[in-house]
Amino acid sequence: MADADLLIEEVSAYLKPQDVEYVRQAVEFSRTAHEGQLRQSGVPYVTHPIAVARILTPLHMDVQAIVAALLHDVIEDTDITTEQVAGQFGKPVADLVDGLSKLDKLQFETREDAQAENFRKMLLAMARDVRVILIKLADRLHNMRTLESMSREKCERIARETMDIYAPIANRLGLHDLFHELEDLSFKHLHPNRYNVLSKALKVARGNRREVVNKILDSINRRLHEQRLNTDVSGREKNIYSIYKKMQSKSLAFAEVLDIYGFRVLVEDVDSCYIALGALHGLYKPIPGKFKDYIAIPKANGYQSLHTTLFGPFGTPIEIQIRTQEMHRIADAGVASHWLYKSGHNSINDLHKKTHQWLQELLESLSQSTDSSEFLEHLKIDLFPDEVYVFTPKGKIMSLPRGATAVDFAYNVHTDVGNRCIAVKINQELAPLRTELRNGDRVEIVTAPHAKPNPAWLSYVTTSKARSHIRHFLKTMQSGESAQLGERLLNQALHTLGVKPSEIQEGCWNKLLRETGVKTQQEILADIGLGRRLNMVVARQLVCNGEAIPKETPANSVITIQGTEGMAVQFAKCCRPIPGDPIIGIIKSGQGLVVHTHDCNTLRRGRSSGEQWLDVVWDENISRPFDVGIKLIVSNQRGVLAKVAAAIAEAESNIENVNFSNEGQYTALHFTLEVNNRLHLANVMRSVRKIPEVIRIIRVKSSAT
């Protein structure tokens, strides 16, 4: 039990004697509980929890965390219960151990479902007590260090999970050393050949470049000494995976990656950071665009430092980090700095507040996810490490993942702001909502009371919060609108059978719900609206008689299109119908009612299986605008576009989009306009046709044309 002796020696350095005795008891309890159990490698199982506890001792974790680390597998892998752990070591330790135990007692349909639920449980426990994730990360690190005894398939699965979930969590919590080791070990098991080649190349390069590194180190020390700065300068080597990522992203060979070494300068206070920066910029020329000030704008995980890249001797780029001792402690220990340095320093308290806020926001967005794949997707998105920093109109700094758009920003401000946003001003200028934000942008969201999320937003948002809230809104809206359409379709079918909807007895509805296994009438109606059930079939079942079900909806069953049905009624992109066009409706499973024009080319190609055709007509009082395409052939003359735009405006139509293409001495103008109906479109075309430069004007029905 040499490892147990080392653990006792390590905790004795910072824990009270009575707490050390508590740890001894936990070691003995764990050893007894795991008696006879072996790890895959053949060593006694108890070596694992002891190793996990030892990973936590450099962070000076408290006695409860050390004991929980020693007992983290006893509930899951032995007959010990949570109540026994609570009786022996107290409820706080039992809660930590329970938060670390998997949901093995429950049955899941797929491995993905089980994985998602385990992560969900871990995050909930982590929100109550961050020590849960610190112990879990230590557990994962030791498992990664001893992964060789596993099968190749299991190694790859665990390494992929570590790379996608656990390493980013460690980074998000500011545990940088642990983060880099998890990354390197994952890379080693996912790409063993690449890891070995890079590892050998790095050893060779370390020897070849030692003289250059020493020379740079001497010149940095000399320059800072001239400025009378009390500093501690050290060289650091980049981890293997970060070198590999740079080679991948920039398509470089290893020999071309010159900055495998970096330097860290530790100073006494914040002012000295900037003085040291100026001194080093005077020593070597800075590379433009390679300076980052994480002191003025800290990272979300509390990290603070100045980063700069300089042109060193022999053209070697030098990466330098400049920070205070306090910043360095937080950079090394992250959220665990609370236990390592009980100084009550404001920066540590701020870090804990940020971590708690991040966890609450993460859990809020993940709670919107109903299936496991969506949950894991949101979790991975939220752990994306690279960030941009933008400003609200009042000057508040907000951090978002790199690639985040104005819609992500809106949802980060508040869910209602995201749901109601219609436009954005970036640096006082209007910009599209899909615009990617850059560091330093000042972002102002424009909202409208009746606006709602657009499904197209899902194609360019990056944060899990935005994605989950958009999906939740669309699902809720689609369900409600589909149920309204389904009710209309069902009522039409009942009238065709000569039955008034009010005559349907409650018992018939209850019988239908029992037979179909559906919980509510609303779900049945939504299924009809989405085309998952035929309205005539449901009508026959509700009438409670045994008559044969007609294969087609009778011809006199006509649906009126009001234009306000929302997502439940879609207007086909292939023909873009507008009020006044002869139309026909098709119920498509999962999509609801799709409206086409009678002469649509897509309809001519034949009817697909699983489609129900309906007679539909336009409501006489439709007031909403519809998109329509027109194409103009015009003479190439100055000012013709302005004349056309003015004519369209005079006809009280709005231009949604315009583009053009040259056709010899003529130009083709393609417009997407908003019109109320065919009569309105005819007025627009008549107004445009009066312009002398217009040679030809036609309506374009296909949106792809």
541: CB partners within 8 A, 6+ apart: 508, 512, 515
Whether the CB-CB separation of 164 and 97 falls below 8 Å is answered with no
Secondary structure (3-state) at 229: coil
190: CB partners within 8 A, 6+ apart: 156, 159, 160, 163
How many Å apart are CA 97 and CA 85, to the nearest integer? 8
Residue type, 390: V
Active-site pick, 19, 28, 76, 364? 76
Residue with tokens 């996608």: 164
Q: Quick one: CA dihedral 366, 368, 373, 377, positive or negative?
A: negative
Taking CB atoms within 8 Å and a gap of at least 24, the contacts of 282-285 are 282/223, 283/219, 283/220, 283/223, 283/310, 284/310, 284/311, 284/312, 284/318, 285/310, 285/311
∠ Cα 281 284 286 (to 5°): 60
138: CB partners within 8 A, 6+ apart: 52, 53, 55, 56, 69, 178
Using CA atoms in the order 322, 325, 326, 332, what is the torsion angle rounded to 10 degrees? 80
Query: Which helix (H) or strand (E) is 40 found in, with range?
Result: none
482: CB partners within 8 A, 6+ apart: 525, 526, 527, 528, 529, 530, 567, 568, 592
Whether the CB-CB separation of 555 and 536 falls below 8 Å is answered with no
Query: Which helix (H) or strand (E) is 35 found in, with range?
Result: none
Per the DSSP assignment, residues forming a β-bridge with 442 are 391
Whether the CB-CB separation of 278 and 284 falls below 8 Å is answered with no
Length of the chain, please?
705
List of E strands, 295-355: 306-311, 317-324
Give residue 57's Cα distance to chain centre: 33
Residue with tokens 């949901």: 103
110: CB partners within 8 A, 6+ apart: 372
Q: Quick one: CA dihedral 448, 453, 455, 457, positive or negative?
A: positive
Active-site pick, 77, 112, 129, 156? 77
Of 320, 323, 327, whose CA–CA distance to 219 is shortest?
Answer: 320
Residue-wise DSSP of 598-647: TT-HHHHT-PPTT-EEEEEEE-TT--S-EEEEEEEEEE--TTHHHHHHHH
Q: Quick one: CA dihedral 521, 523, 524, 530, positive or negative?
A: positive
Whether the CB-CB separation of 121 and 378 falls below 8 Å is answered with no
Maximal C-alpha separation, the chain = 100
Query: Quick check: is 481 catalytic?
Result: no
Query: Quick check: is 269 catalytic?
Result: no
Of 380, 397, 271, whose CA–CA distance to 324 is shortest?
Answer: 271
Of 372, 382, 367, whose CA–CA distance to 114 is shortest?
Answer: 372
**Active site residue ranges:** 76-77
